[in-house]
Structures are given as structure tokens and as C-alpha cells.
Amino acid sequence: MTENAPDRARTRFPGISSRAYEHPADRSALVALRSLSGFDVVLRKLSGLINERALRLMFLGGTVRVGEDQFRNIYDMVRDASYILDLPEVPDLFVKQDPMPNAMAIGSDHPFIVLNTGLIDLLDDEELRFVVAHEVGHILSGHAVYQTMMQILLQLGSRLAWLPLGNIGIAAIIIGLREWFRKAELSADRAGLLAGQDLDAAKRTHMKLAGGTRLTEMSSEAFLAQAREYDAAGDVRDGLLKFLNLLPQSHPYAVIRFAEIDRWAKGGEYERILAGDYPRRDDDGDASVTEEIRNAAKSYRESWERTADPFVGKVRDMADAAAGAAGGLFDRFGGRRDTGPTDSSN
């Protein structure tokens, strides 16, 4: 267990489960995957197709590993985030010379973080703390492991492209996985806020990722209004174009992430976690797949009700029916093995 305390007073969350901050659509997928007997073993075998040892040696040889004597401030950030979120092991973090502002968590047995210099140059210390904690959140949730599946399928899809309809099935799965991973990014943003405990820094991060360093030329109120304008779109055609634009994206757009973290921070759940009211990882085995599927359906339904997007309005009824059918399917075929609570009224 991590023993180092953070460099300034922040609330710590002993034994916190990643379910505390995960977006319902992300959480339902993870709970379902974790409930499958032997799934982690199979996935780790598949992970072997991407050589983690070779990746680690590549970064060890070609980047800078943070520590007591290298990028000490970033080393303190990853220690602090691991301490606050009670991660059992502080992950290695490598700084890579790359002007593209990006970061990632990769690996399965011992996941590690890679931080591009473009991101370090773009952000101040509190914004960078949010990003580092975001990646620690990915590791605590197991996203670094499960994302491997998508990488394998991407490789498999390119190999099957010559087969009639072979690539179509893989592409459909990848579309679904990308939708899940976009929700996983929202989960990790929440983890970043929980560890950094600075909402303004989290919001500034997304503004800088969209518009660069000149914050004096930007306004958080105007950026939030821009998010609302994007959500409302113009007509059904614009809504369809947004949908098509988003399909190949691994991350939600910056204005959406800004609006989502602002809404989550002000919605009461963040304050409850700060007050110590959160699920513990010791209880993860009791999590109900059926309940989490219902929570995911409820979350999508609430987001559809909030949105002003006319395209979403056209498909809302059809999607509601599909979500209800999925819930009924899990009730019928999963109920005998699902011993968790089924009351989703909370």
C-alpha cells in the first residue's frame, strides 16, 4: 500500500472502489466483465499478443522515468494520486518527448503511465495533477487492461479486411468498444477531480486542450455555453453529423468533457464521496450486473432527456425500448447467478 501522504491537505479515500466514480455505462460494462468466470485470465492471455515487457523496455530506453531525481514534481503527483485513491502500487510514469498533448495508461500486469512533453508544456501544476490522477483512475478501474481488447481487435480487423464481411463484424465491435471507452474517459476525469480536488483546474485542462494556453482569451462561462450549443445542434441533420463524427473518436470532445465534469461536481455525488460516502472495493464482488445495466440505461435515458439535440429526440423512444429489452434479458437469463441487489431506485 502507498505510504506517502500528499504534499497538501486533501481528502483521502481508503479502500475506495472505482465504482464510486465510474460513469454508469462504463461501470456496467466493467461489472459484467468482472463477473464472467475466467474472463480476466483469458484477457490477460490475449494481452500477451501485445508484449508488455517489450513496451516497458521501449519506454525505459527511449523516454525519462520520473522519480526522486527526475521530474520530481510529477513523481510527487503520481504518488499523491495513488495515495488519495488508495492504489496498492504506485505506477511507473514515463515522460516522452512529443509535442502532441497526450497521456495514456498501458499494460496489464503492472500498468504504467506515459506523459507527453506537449502536455507538460501546456498545463500548470494543478492541471497536470488532474491529468496524472486521471491516468491513475484508468489504472484503478482496470481500463489499461480492458483497452488491450480494443487494440487486439483493431489489429485483427486489419488482418480480416480481405474477407467478405469479415471486417464488418470486427468494426461493429470496435464501435461499441469505443463508445464504452469514451464513457471510461468521463470516469477517469472524475477520478482526476477526486484526487486533485480542484474543479477549476479540471475545467481549465479541457479549455487548454481545446484552445491552447491563452486562458485570458477564453471564458469558462462561454465555453460551457459552447457545450450547450454543441449539444443543441441545429436540426436532425446536424445531430446525425455529430454522431458520425464521434464514431471514430476514442475521447469525447473537450466541450463535452468540460460540461460533464462540471455537472458531476455540482450534482451531489462528488460531495458525498468527499464526505466518505462511497463504495469500497472489498464489496466489488457483490456488485449486481443487473443493477448496473439498469443504472446505465437510466443514465442514458437521463442524458437523452437533458439534451436538446433533435436527432437524439428522434431515436429516444427506440433506444428506450432497446434498453428495456436489454434489462429484461439480463433479468431472465442472469437473475439466477446474480445475487446482488436489484433495487435501482437510488
Residue at 3 is within a domain: no
What does the pLDDT look like over 2-56, one tens digit per residue? 444 445 589 999 999 998 998 876 766 665 555 544 555 555 555 555 567 788 8
Q: Quick check: is 89 catalytic? A: no
> The domain containing residue 233 runs over which residues?
18-287
Average pLDDT, the chain: 77
Whole-number Cα distances in Å, 323 to 29, 184, 234, 242: 14, 20, 27, 22
Distance, in Å, from the CA atom of 334 to the CA atom of 256, rounded to the nearest integer, reads 34
pLDDT digits 0-9 by tens, 188-246: 999 999 999 999 999 999 999 999 999 999 999 999 999 998 888 666 677 677 777 77
63-119 pLDDT per residue, tens = 999 999 999 999 999 999 999 999 999 999 999 999 999 999 988 778 899 999 999
Does residue 309 sit within a domain? no
State the Cα–Cα distance between residues 264 and 262, nearest whole angstrom: 6
Please check whether residue 328 lies inside any domain of the structure: no
Q: Is residue 319 situated within a structural domain? A: no
Annotated catalytic residue, options 127, 135, 185, 291: 135
Is 73 within a domain? Answer: yes
Is 78 part of a structural domain of the chain?
Answer: yes
Of 340, 241, 223, give the one whose Cα is nearest residue 284.
340
**Number of domains within the chain:** 1
Residue 317 lies in a domain: no
Backbone φ and ψ of 152, nearest 5°: -65, -45
Residue 341 within any structural domain of the chain: no
